[in-house]
Structure 1
Amino acid sequence: MGWGRRARLRRTAVTATALACAAVSLLAGCTGGGGAPDDDGRAPQPGPTPSPSPSAPPVGPVLAVKIDNAPPARPHTGLGTADVVYVEQVEGGLSRLMAVYASGLPEEVGPVRSARETDLELLRQFERPVLAFSGAQTRLLPLIDRSPLRAASPGESPGAYFRGGGRAAPHNLYLRPHRLMPAAPGREALTPAGFAFGAAPEGGTAQTTRTVRYPAARFTFTWDARGDRYRVALDGDAAGATDGRPPAPATVVVQYVRMRPSGYFDSRGSNTPYTQTVGSGTAKVLRGGRTYDALWKRPGPGAGTRFTTPEGESLNFAEGQVWVLLTRA
């Protein structure tokens, strides 16, 4: 049975359960689930619910979480634990992050925000991932439902989300990953997407700092030889973390891609750009304080992305976190 049909059956089951509870609430003591917050966070905070039962449908091999990157959403929570962090351009030239977890799961992740059409093609690289997101435009929901992934929005998994204090909606929705999946699958789950780790190639150019700009966001990566990692700055400010573990990638990939207008707009009428991650192009790979010219190729939606040197040799990444910035060619 496909995920889309499972989702419809789950929604039908939830409706039936709600009616049954209303009829026998005094005797059975049923509890209702919280509403599904939209991207503006107007729905009430869901109440505490138990962890998923062992009989729940199997989850995908990696967990992907859409994360807010607007200034009011910082510092982030759980971002430093991610194996891969994708940076995407959204409406108004702003950026959103997608954190992919394979090696381990943090206690909390967030703030969580909404999905975009770009995410569906990007995630086809992984084998039936779990996608955690705050919601999506109504017209996009059927596409998510038909995609080869497990959608885990607050409407589907209300007990996994909570509203954090000290921030205004929509920058205060957080995820407890262990309520979606019992454990991380292991780093080998990244292999289908084309991630290869190993020794650096020959050559490269010494470069200790690089800034990647979007129309309304910028990311600066500074090599820290002592920590053997890059320090990350967001719009000029050092990236912090509420859990004491800020992001510190060992590899940074600037992947030059094509962007086109999509059929979707935000509430202000701004168009959502569609980022094409199938095809081929050029890239810059930063590791060890050096920058390497690279080529990327992804032949189809179900294939991973292969990064090579201009001579066609596989270009390995350093052990540790990887950031992939999808930037207009």
Structure 2
Amino acid sequence: MKRSARTRCGAPGVIAAAVLALLLSACSDGSDEPPAESSPSPAGPVLAVKIDNAPQARPQTGLNAADVVYVEQVEAGLSRLMALYATRLPGSVGPVRSARESDLELLAQFPEPTLVFSGAQSKLLPLIADAPLRPVTPGDAPAGAFTRDPARTAPYNLYVRPPRVQNRPAGAVALERAGFREGPAPGGGERVNERTVRLPSARFTFTWSAGRGRWLIAMDGRPAAEPDGTPVTAATVIVQRVEIRESRFRDFMGNNTPLTVTVGSGSAEVLRGGQAHRGEWKRPSAESGTSFTTPDGDPLNIADGPVWVMLVSR
């Protein structure tokens, strides 16, 4: 059609058309649609995975890839982990275990997070369904999202493949909104080479390694490691003292499930760079993030790298 149009035009029209074509080719890629990269891709939600921490579940997979690892108290004073993935989605995480009521309040500070878990008490399921999150279990997950390790026995052999659960990570901004902001450490820290944090039936020890620039983590007296032997480490450890009380739920053995309250305020200690900084935490509502500050009100920033948050009784 362009050729027949040029045939009908005179010489001036031919020249004008040629000039116009050159101008258009200089500022267009020949497509009527704008290039895809002209607008940023939307971020995904924060991905949270409940991970078993019984001795039979160790070594766990994917802890070093997490941006934040929460340590929670569960029945009989034992511990369970909830790992958050915001900046990357590792290939495998686990062993995956069940959710608790405390998870719902804790995750409410992240917009529409994804919670991966193996199941929950029947009375808790309606609360999970009503919570502002996307629940993912083996029964409703996309195809291939969960796998079983034949070398392990149930229930310590269930793993999730995060890239099969969602397409893209949330990005660091999701963590910043919840209160995890990188920045310089405040002055006045106390030199600490080792700190042990105890739950009723669990013990975590964090030992500073200047060579790695990380805290080496031991659980119940044994060094924590990934399956390939890589030590599990943290750049920042936050000891957050909270109210832990009985909930309305019990496990199949009759043990009460503790309820960890993460809305409110209390004392905190931030370990980073081989130093301990005492301070406070505050979270006015479930939808707001958690602020960590010194007694003078200065921010207690995190270091670059994984953060472990120990939710312990005040």
TM-score of the pair, normalised by structure 1: 0.81
- Listed one character per residue, the Cα deviations across residues 22-62 of structure 1 (whole Å, up to 9, x for unaligned) are xxxxxxxxxxxxxxxxxxxxxxxxxxxxxxxxxxxx99521
Pick one of 116, 141, 149 that aligns with 1:164.
149
Distance in 2 between residues matched to 1:278 and 1:245, nearest whole Å: 35
Structure 1 pair 267/158, CA: closer, same or farther in 2 (3 Å)?
A: farther
Of structures 1 and 2, the larger Rg is shown by 2
Q: 2:186 aligns with which of 195, 198, 201?
A: 201
| 1:102 and 1:184 in contact (8 A); partners too | yes
2:222 corresponds to which letter in structure 1?
Answer: D
Query: Which sections of structure 2, spanning at least 5 residues, go unmatched?
Result: 1-41
> How many matched pairs?
272
Give the 3-state SS of the residue equivalent to 1:81 in structure 2: coil
CA–CA distance in structure 1, aligned partners of residues 85 and 229 of structure 2: 18
Shift, 1:244, TM fit: 5.0
- Alpha-carbon contact 2:142-2:164 (below 8 Å) kept: no
SS of residue paired to 2:234: coil
**Residues 1:110 and 2:90 are matched in the alignment:** no
Q: What is the RMSD of the two structures over their aligned residues, measured on CA atoms? A: 1.2
Matching residue within 281, 290, 293 for 2:278: 293
Equivalent in 22, 43, 68 of residue 84 of structure 1: 68
Q: Distance in 1 between matches of 2:301 and 2:43?
A: 29
Kindly indicate whether residue 83 of structure 2 is the aligned counterpart of residue 99 of structure 1. Answer: yes
> Which of 108, 116, 140 is the aligned partner of 1:132?
116
Distance 2:229 2:94 in 1: 14
How far off is 1:158 after superposition? 5.5
Cα distance between partner residues in 1 of 2:286 and 2:310:
19
Moved more, 161-170 or 283-292: 161-170
Other structure's SS at 1:80 match: coil
Q: Residue type matched to 1:215 in 2?
A: P
> What pairs with 1:250-265 in structure 2 (closer than 5 Å)?
250-265=235-250
State whether structure 2 residue 196 is matched by structure 1 residue 211. Answer: yes
1:189-214 Cα distance to aligned partner (Å, 9 max, x none): 21221111110001111011000011
Corresponding residue number in structure 1 for 2:131: 147
SS at match of 2:176: helix
| Whole-Å separation in 2 of the counterparts to 1:166 and 1:148 | 36
3-state SS in 1 of match to 2:94 = coil
Counterpart CA distance in 2 for 1:154 and 1:180 is 11
Matching of residue 239 in structure 1 with residue 224 in structure 2: yes
Distance 2:300 2:159 in 1: 35
User: How far apart, CA to CA, are the structure 1 residues paired with 2:282 and 2:44?
Assistant: 24
Task: Letter of the 1:202 partner, please give it.
Answer: G
Q: What is the rounded CA distance, in whole Å, between the counterparts of 2:55 and 2:95 in structure 1?
A: 11
Amino acid corresponding to residue 130 of structure 2 in structure 1: R
TM-score when normalising by structure 2: 0.85
Amino acid at match of 2:196: T
Unaligned 5+ runs, structure 1: 1-57
Q: Distance in 2 between matches of 1:183 and 1:61?
A: 8
Of the structure 1 ranges 313-322 and 116-125, higher mean CA displacement relative to structure 2 is found in: 313-322
Partner of 2:254: 269
Distance in 2 (alpha carbons) for counterparts of 1:103 and 1:158: 21
| Residue number among 286, 305, 308 corresponding to 2:290 in the alignment | 305
Query: Deviation at 1:185?
Result: 2.2
Give distance in 1, aligned partners of 2:56 and 2:95.
10
In structure 1, what is the Cα distance between the partners aligned to 2:119 and 2:224? 26
Deviation at 1:105, TM superposition (A): 1.0
Is structure 2 residue 208 aligned with structure 1 residue 223?
yes
- Show the counterpart of 1:65: 49
Give the Cα separation in 2 of the matches to 1:243 and 1:311: 43
Query: Is this contact kept in 1: 2:114–2:136, CA < 8 A?
Result: yes
Extract structure 1 runs of 4+ deviating beyond 2 A: 243-247
Q: Which residue of 1 aligns with 2:103?
A: 119
State the identity as a percent.
59
SS in 2 for 1:190: helix
Letter of the 1:222 counterpart: T
